[in-house]
Amino acid sequence: MHHYSFSLDFLPDAHRFHSQGIFCFFEGNTLVEVDSQSGVLSQVGDLRSLGSSLVQSPLYIGGYGEKLYFAQELEPGTAEAKGYSTKSMRQLGLEDELLFAMFSRGLQLLNWRRNHQFCGRCGSEALVSNTEYAMRCAKCELSFYPKIMPCVMALVTKGDQLLLARHARRGTSIYTALAGFIEAGETVEHAIKREVLEEVGVTTGEIKYFSSQAWPFPGQLMLGFYAEYLEGDIQPEEGEIEDAKWFSADALPEIPAPFTLSGQLIRSFVENKN
């Protein structure tokens, strides 16, 4: 499990720092490798060369060390038209967890700007604020901040066993911890107990916090926990869970990659049992 500390402070007049910046380019949720030599990292020269392919202006992501990072959205079809290589965010996570964390923020900010171009109250145009991360209505001045959706992830344990599930709609053989969104008015603890009961039909007792992860698909904050099994037989939720089983720490199925919170939950449990 890795924790990175990079500055998220708002940068006024961020355009003045483009010449010092490092850029990542997105077409939808996919990274575009504009600079073939540097992979997903680009310089201001690449930004200038793209011209009409740019969607609005770059958004400042944050700083790490002495470097400033920016995210830029490209028009659909740019990568194919210009012959650029692409990379999925999940592939980046396997290669560089720091860049995954930083670019996840960039992707979330681009999605936020794209989805809040008009005020939800009066319908007028919303513009990026010059003083904070906010889209502000030009007419009624209502502000729209980057949307973060809190989710719980629970690895249910019973002695040396852990309960893992394969999701029906993901088309994969990977078994993972259970997860779900926190609903309005709900506590984290209640959300865990509800999600586990809904998805696999068992009740849980003591809950222990593990760690968290920002997840940009489209903008979750994943909160990871261990939850002790209390009672009940596994009954996978129809249409949601394709299969769910108890596994021993020394006989695991295919599990999520180490950069994911679920992968970290499972691996940490196994390591502590050995």
Question: How far is the C-alpha of 243 from the C-alpha of 253, rounded, in Å?
Answer: 12
Does the domain spanning 149-273 belong to CATH 3.90.79.10? yes
At 236 the three-state DSSP class reads coil
Could you tell me whether strands 135-137 and 126-128 are parallel, antiparallel, or unpaired per DSSP bridges?
A: antiparallel
In terms of Cβ atoms closer than 10 Å to its own Cβ (0-12, 13-18, 19+), residue 183 is exposed
CATH class, domain 14-114, is alpha beta
pLDDT in tens, the chain (274 residues): 455 678 888 899 999 999 999 999 999 999 999 987 889 999 999 999 999 999 999 999 999 988 999 999 999 999 999 999 999 999 999 999 999 999 999 999 999 999 999 999 999 999 999 899 999 999 999 999 999 999 999 999 999 999 999 998 877 899 999 999 999 999 999 999 999 999 999 999 999 999 999 999 889 999 999 999 999 999 999 999 999 999 999 999 999 999 999 999 999 999 988 7
Per-domain boundaries in the chain: 14-114, 116-147, 149-273
Question: What is the distance of C-alpha 115 from the center of its chain?
Answer: 17
13-61 confidence digits (pLDDT tens): 999 999 999 999 999 999 999 987 889 999 999 999 999 999 999 999 9
**Same fold across 14-114 and 149-273:** yes
* pTM, entire model: 0.90
